[in-house]
Structure 1
Amino acid sequence: MNSNNFRNLRNIGVIAHVDAGKTTTTERILFYTGENHRIGDVDDGSTTMDFDPQERQRGITIHSAATTVHWQGTQINLIDTPGHIDFNLEVRRSLRVLDGAVVVFDGVAGVEPQTETNWRLADEYRVPRLAFVNKLDRIGSDFARVVSMMQERLAVRALPLQLPIGAEGDFRGVVDLLTLQALVWDRDDASAPPRIEAVPPELLAAAQAARARLVEAAAEQDDALLDAWLRGAELPLDGLRAALRRGTLAGAFVPVLAGSAFRNRGVEPLLDAVVAYLPAPGEAPGALDTHGPLSALAFKLTADDHGAMVFVRVYSGTLKRGDTVFNASTGKAERVARLYEIHADRRVERDELVAGDIAGVVGLKDVLTGHTLASAKDAPLLESIVVPEAVIDVAIEPRKQLDAAALAKGLSVLVREDPSLRLRQDADSGQTLLSGMGELQLEVAVEKLRARFGIEVQVGRPQVAYRETIAQAAEVQHLHRKQSGGPGQFAELTLRIAPLPRGEGFRFANTVVGGAIPREFIPAVEAGIRRTALAGPFAGHPLVDFEAVLVDGSHHVRDSSALAFELAAAAALREAVLKAAPVVLEPLMAVEVITPADYLGDVIGDLLRRRGHVQGQDARGNAVVVTAHVPLAQMFGYIGQLRALSSGRAQFTMQLHHYAEVPARAALAA
């Protein structure tokens, strides 16, 4: 199937930092495309895309929500993603399956931490994107400054397609640089299209200069256009648009548009740009050939009153209702009961999905996020989805012992839906620990247990999710022998462990030769090591960033078994770790504090008292932005202290930067 067949389809996401106006922009898109007949509002909890009760209550996006709209004869499958760092997995798995993205920037704040994180994810998945500078009606907004910040912080060639007309409360329209026309919106009528006017005289010189830069960037993408441009010829609009599309798909630049979604200004040109410049399926960099057998990626799971639904992106082939397909990640067969096109919280049943479609599938039993669905069990696996680190634990137990089984079931559903949540048993206390990326994510999970499963739980205070690792190599020989009348247990092995760079996780290697340990027992050795690493022998935290090499060993023809070798490996690892200079690791957070200059000294002093390392400070309007790396253990309750220091005027964001060794004096507390 040729990608030309997909010219009328776009799979795009809307991504941004929290409070940049992302959901408001999406709601306006639904209104102008005719999907909604009234405009949803985040503040009054009437949005279509934030349909979850917690989203409406908190006024934030928690789950990525999908919908389908149509504009100028093109179908747009649209995913609205969360902006809060605690729900970053939702952005990751959306970007993994999307062909393009609209990145919304706050016209006042510019490039914010989560915008930068999401931008890097889009780079990682090679997703072409447009930028929409929103909130240009706000006091302090500055389109040119945001464009400059994009170029400096994101290392991207930001290419304005428009210039704003008016500023702050007087923002009323944009100059279209390609046509050199002004688009002006009436103040109060959301349904009226923009008026086309002449460019205001005071903007004409700036618009002509910006257009010259735009034409030059476009001409660089096409040899014929470049030759005509160098000869001073007037370039045709269709040729310029085609060249801008080519450059956007290649990542040569990012087109930038201007507007105020809340004031209904700039949304229609944004939709025009989505159709004109973002890729159809099969056009995005690294896209699969859409010919051939079925290949689809499961990127999200949800469970509700209708049962479990798996969201998939079809990359090639077709998927029909009633089909039996294979989970190439597990080799198991699965039957497709129903297919649904998703419109936020509404579903439209489909008979089949084709390459390029993003839709919901009901009936799949053992499919998880990142699994590949295919027509053959040995089909190639699609690139999976990286799950972020969990940095905070809470102990969780039912208020009534009668609810213990229901709690276990509810937690298993939540972890299946959101792989960035982790469950484990504390080795010392036996408590069930739920781990996540932040306090908000864990609060939301606990509320889901109550609202969806009717379980009242007791939750302990949030604790840092420490790790442990080793600082040097060590080698041990261990003999496991047990005899009690009947068949015995015998396993002997030599295990060598060595540290790996931060973030490398765990690696296992087998160098045994000559059948000293039979091949069928090797997986048991690895299993014993992995099981023991879940609660490290030094401080009881998960053991990470190490390599284990099975060097040698011996077996007994009658008394050796997989169990014996698993137990021997577990004991050998515990012994080796204690000889390998074990250390505790803690999460260091990248913290960004925005404070009025009057409170700068107090803010920095407080960060230093929290074992923070200030990385830099920059002016942002009449405020100062302080960036620092601070241990997560020192950040609990920080918002209250920051408000007290700044008379309630400062704010902050933070996200995991890396794990680092805990200083000796702090390790005792860990």
Structure 2
Amino acid sequence: MGDKNGRRATDHDLSALRPDRIRNVVLVGPTQSGKTSLVEALLHHTGAISRPGTVADGTTVSDHEDVEQAHGRSVSLSVAPLVHEGVKVNLVDTPGFADFVGEVRAGLRAADCALFVIASHEGVDDSTRDLWRECAQVGMPRALVLTKLDHARADVDTALAAARSAFGEKVLPVYVLEGDRLTGLLSGATDDPRRGELVEAVIEESEDETLMDRYVGGEQIDEKVLVDDLETAIAHATLFPVVPVCATTGVGLGELLDLCVRAFPSPPEHAPPDLFTPAGVAVEPVTCDPAGPLVAEVVKTSSDHYLGRVSLVRVFSGALRPDVPVHVSGHFASFGTAGHEDHDEDERVGALAHPFGARQVPTDQVVAGDIGLVARLSRAETGDTLSSTDDPRVLRPWEMPDPLLPVAIEAASRSDEDKLSAALSRLAAEDPSLRVEHSAETGQLLLWVMGEAHAEVALERLRQRYGVTVTEVDVVVPLRECLLGPAKGHGRHVKQSGGHGQYAVCDIEVEPLPEGSGFAFESRVVGGSVPRQFIPSVEKGVRQQMDRGVRLGYPVVDLRVVLVDGKAHSVDSSDMAFQTAGALALKDAAEGATVAMLEPYDEVSVLVSDDHVGSVMSDLSARRGRLLGTEQADDRTVVRAIVPQRELLRYAVDLRSATHGAGTFTRTFAHYEPMPEELAVAVPRRRT
């Protein structure tokens, strides 16, 4: 099959083909399931590399970041193309560790179908079940690959049973493993119960409504008819084939590639994401046509020492060509999605290449349906849309998980501090699952990450890519102070040092207000003891002192202040003098009152499988949480509770450990409550 320029694809040709001759396949599954080894084996099988793990020049196919080698696991997605039967297959390899789910979501966005990779000596973990649900919600075609057949504890039948239990009865084997080879269950060479089950499932999904009656009537259905209907069912995501594959021996590699090119949908058969104008107005979707208007999406950004920022782009319509202006739109906030700030700008496309792990293969275009690399898009960030400058468009961004583990950092030196802000900005542009917060209340610089491994990788990238070293410090929870009873305060500010002096006296009464009431101020001054123009000055001074705190430096909340009396001087009184007197009066009132420390509470919703509900509820109670109840969410349970924020600092890590990676949670601020005295006495003075 040739492309529109008459070129013919070969086993080593990575040039762009027609969109219908492209397959974008994402590999997902647990860490250590063998995804990367499978990618390398498929590349070697098709002659794309000389031996697993390397290409002709000796560079690696995947896991090429130094930080990945240091951690011994994949931490980012990589793309490696191969050609099979004249069809280009872009293999999108994703990390299996739960901390890097953002990379997995990006891989799903770049692909049109998914291979769930499960080791044949392991079961199906809850994280993989969750990922299957996500794919099911958007109707993504899926197949299962049972790997590591040469493992000492490999058991294909047990692994298949676990997969069907986890994913449903429409998960069916299409091959039977016989020694060191696979035999198709739809071929005439097999006749066992599994073949009968597969045939019936295929016929049930067939668009030929007469097929079932003919089959029940005893007719032998032609194998080609069954295979065609099987491939159609797979493409429509109504049947999910299972293929046993061994990366080391090569068993099943050819069969898996056949499935990818024959059964998985091509880009034109996969509906693109919803399309909008930058103003948020929905527009007609585009078709996967290289001659159409440009619509592409940045699914990953990274930094190269020589090329600068490099964008991995999936093209949905049109074609990218070097040195052509494009419009870059980022509109996460407009769609209520976490990520970078909204922005629109024009840029010029730099050099183009096809990704090949650590290697880049230069090209003169990246057409609709394909995945490519674009150099020097300095303003493009992960999740941005690329379109024509005269007709800008925005794709609805994919949903990213909310990072819920806070890590407080400080620059290790003055030189690091000078570079830190720019480095964090670039890091956040690359990774939307990382959020940077400058806390105005605590003065801390926080990185919100998915877990400890995510934090380690982020800090290591800061050091390696941007030459910035930081140190971790304890996260400070924003506390509050409140007065528990009424009190009176006297503020006197009198100074005389030549010329005009400073003179202001005020008396106030204070009382606590109900939670959440804020601040109330009124004047009951009579006889002009405090001149009218200085009453706002007293209020301003009180407010400033409330912000500075009256006990340990934390803001005072829920307070009524009444100005009842004072004194002024015809020459020496001033706005600043009465501000100072007001502040002193509040401090004096606090000396005679009981001051309580308040801590913030969040409302937490924890989504877990039913067998973890009891342990999650016990753990939340142990964190001083108050349970609000439970509710069903499909086959899982949501546990709701009110929990102090300080008890949630490491909850993202602890919940994952307690639920074997399956539990997730959300949190929203609820209110402040008094802190237990045994904890309040240990609170340090606020750093300013």
Q: TM-score range by the shorter chain?
A: 0.5 to 0.7
Matched, 1:309 2:295: no
Matched, 1:412 2:425: yes
Deviation at 1:303?
A: 1.1
Deviation at 1:628?
A: 9.5
Matched, 1:83 2:96: yes
Rounded to whole Å, the distance in 2 between the matches of 1:640 and 1:336 is: 42
Secondary structure, counterpart of 2:660 in structure 1: strand
**Residue 213 of structure 1 is aligned with which of 190, 195, 200?**
200
Secondary structure, counterpart of 2:42 in structure 1: helix
CA separation of 1:604/1:428 partners in 2, compared to 1, >3 Å: closer, same or farther? Answer: closer
Secondary structure, counterpart of 2:421 in structure 1: helix
Matched, 1:585 2:593: no
Deviation at 1:426?
A: 2.3
Q: CA offsets per residue over residues 264-306 of structure 1, 9 Å max, x none?
A: 3322211111112111111125574224311111221111112
**Residue 229 of structure 1 is aligned with which of 215, 227, 249?**
215
Rounded to whole Å, the distance in 2 between the matches of 1:439 and 1:214 is: 44
Contact 1:394 1:463 in 2 (8 A): no
Secondary structure, counterpart of 1:653 in structure 2: coil
Rounded to whole Å, the distance in 1 between the matches of 2:287 and 2:478 is: 42
CA separation of 1:417/1:146 partners in 2, compared to 1, >3 Å: closer, same or farther? Answer: same
Q: CA offsets per residue over residues 64-103 of structure 1, 9 Å max, x none?
A: 0011111122111111001111111111112112111111
Matches within 5 A, 1:73-222: 73-138=86-151, 141-155=154-168, 157-165=170-178, 172-181=180-189, 205-217=192-204, 220-222=206-208
Rounded to whole Å, the distance in 1 between the matches of 2:663 and 2:477 is: 14
CA separation of 1:634/1:458 partners in 2, compared to 1, >3 Å: closer, same or farther? Answer: closer
Contact 1:592 1:653 in 2 (8 A): no
Q: CA offsets per residue over residues 184-232 of structure 1, 9 Å max, x none?
A: xxxxxxxxxxxxxxx6xxxx534543454354345x3434644653553
Deviation at 1:54?
A: 2.1
Matched, 1:275 2:261: yes
Contact 2:143 2:241 in 1 (8 A): yes
Q: 1:423: which partner in 2?
A: 436
Q: 2:288: which partner in 1?
A: 290
Secondary structure, counterpart of 2:242 in structure 1: strand
Contact 1:95 1:125 in 2 (8 A): no
| TM norm structure 2 | 0.65
Contact 1:321 1:336 in 2 (8 A): yes
Matched, 1:381 2:379: no
Aligned amino acid, residue 652 of structure 1: H
Deviation at 1:105?
A: 1.7
Rounded to whole Å, the distance in 2 between the matches of 1:283 and 1:213 is: 26
Aligned amino acid, residue 602 of structure 2: L
Rounded to whole Å, the distance in 2 between the matches of 1:240 and 1:179 is: 10
Q: 1:326: which partner in 2?
A: 327
CA separation of 1:475/1:294 partners in 2, compared to 1, >3 Å: closer, same or farther? Answer: farther
Aligned amino acid, residue 455 of structure 2: L
Aligned amino acid, residue 243 of structure 1: D
**Unaligned 5+ runs, structure 1:** 167-171, 182-198, 479-484, 486-535, 540-580, 596-600, 616-625, 643-650
Q: 1:515: which partner in 2?
A: none
Rounded to whole Å, the distance in 1 between the matches of 2:188 and 2:673 is: 64
Q: CA offsets per residue over residues 455-487 of structure 1, 9 Å max, x none?
A: 322112478999xxxx99999999xxxxxx9xx
Q: 1:254: which partner in 2?
A: 240
Matched, 1:6 2:4: no
Deviation at 1:396?
A: 1.3
Rounded to whole Å, the distance in 1 between the matches of 2:193 and 2:308 is: 57
Deviation at 1:443?
A: 0.7
Rounded to whole Å, the distance in 1 between the matches of 2:228 and 2:517 is: 61
Matched, 1:658 2:666: yes
Contact 2:234 2:264 in 1 (8 A): yes
CA separation of 1:88/1:667 partners in 2, compared to 1, >3 Å: closer, same or farther? Answer: farther
Contact 1:369 1:385 in 2 (8 A): no
Rounded to whole Å, the distance in 2 between the matches of 1:641 and 1:386 is: 24
Rounded to whole Å, the distance in 2 between the matches of 1:588 and 1:350 is: 48
Matched, 1:460 2:473: yes
Task: Report the more deviating stretch, 229-238 or 655-664.
Answer: 655-664
Deviation at 1:667?
A: 7.2
Matches within 5 A, 1:626-665: 633=649, 652-653=660-661, 655-659=663-667
CA separation of 1:475/1:135 partners in 2, compared to 1, >3 Å: closer, same or farther? Answer: same
Deviation at 1:447?
A: 1.1
Q: 2:44: which partner in 1?
A: 31
Contact 2:405 2:650 in 1 (8 A): no
Rounded to whole Å, the distance in 2 between the matches of 1:378 and 1:655 is: 43
Contact 1:221 1:246 in 2 (8 A): no
Contact 1:127 1:285 in 2 (8 A): no
Aligned amino acid, residue 460 of structure 1: V
Deviation at 1:53?
A: 1.8
Q: CA offsets per residue over residues 554-603 of structure 1, 9 Å max, x none?
A: xxxxxxxxxxxxxxxxxxxxxxxxxxx996226666678999xxxxx999
Contact 1:21 1:104 in 2 (8 A): yes
Deviation at 1:110?
A: 2.5
CA separation of 1:86/1:319 partners in 2, compared to 1, >3 Å: closer, same or farther? Answer: same
Rounded to whole Å, the distance in 1 between the matches of 2:87 and 2:94 is: 22
| TM norm structure 1 | 0.67
Matches within 5 A, 1:324-363: 324-329=325-330, 330-363=343-376
Rounded to whole Å, the distance in 1 between the matches of 2:405 and 2:203 is: 50
Rounded to whole Å, the distance in 1 between the matches of 2:515 and 2:115 is: 46
CA separation of 1:473/1:355 partners in 2, compared to 1, >3 Å: closer, same or farther? Answer: farther
Rounded to whole Å, the distance in 2 between the matches of 1:371 and 1:638 is: 33
Secondary structure, counterpart of 1:38 in structure 2: coil
Secondary structure, counterpart of 1:17 in structure 2: coil
Task: Report the more deviating stretch, 606-615 or 340-349.
Answer: 606-615
Secondary structure, counterpart of 1:179 in structure 2: coil
Secondary structure, counterpart of 1:361 in structure 2: strand
Rounded to whole Å, the distance in 2 between the matches of 1:446 and 1:422 is: 13
Deviation at 1:235?
A: 2.8
CA separation of 1:237/1:208 partners in 2, compared to 1, >3 Å: closer, same or farther? Answer: closer
Q: 1:532: which partner in 2?
A: none
Rounded to whole Å, the distance in 2 between the matches of 1:403 and 1:281 is: 45
CA separation of 1:450/1:379 partners in 2, compared to 1, >3 Å: closer, same or farther? Answer: closer
Rounded to whole Å, the distance in 2 between the matches of 1:281 and 1:351 is: 20
Secondary structure, counterpart of 2:228 in structure 1: helix
Rounded to whole Å, the distance in 2 between the matches of 1:629 and 1:135 is: 40
Rounded to whole Å, the distance in 2 between the matches of 1:587 and 1:151 is: 33
Rounded to whole Å, the distance in 2 between the matches of 1:654 and 1:94 is: 20
Deviation at 1:636?
A: 8.4
Aligned amino acid, residue 203 of structure 2: E
Rounded to whole Å, the distance in 1 between the matches of 2:648 and 2:38 is: 33
Matched, 1:365 2:373: no
Rounded to whole Å, the distance in 2 between the matches of 1:637 and 1:358 is: 34
Rounded to whole Å, the distance in 2 between the matches of 1:214 and 1:10 is: 25
CA separation of 1:317/1:104 partners in 2, compared to 1, >3 Å: closer, same or farther? Answer: same
Rounded to whole Å, the distance in 1 between the matches of 2:163 and 2:477 is: 33
Matched, 1:300 2:317: no
Contact 1:14 1:80 in 2 (8 A): yes
Q: CA offsets per residue over residues 629-661 of structure 1, 9 Å max, x none?
A: 99755658869999xxxxxxxx93355333377
Q: 2:530: which partner in 1?
A: none
Q: Which has the larger radius of gyration?
A: 2
Matches within 5 A, 1:522-561: none
Contact 1:415 1:423 in 2 (8 A): yes
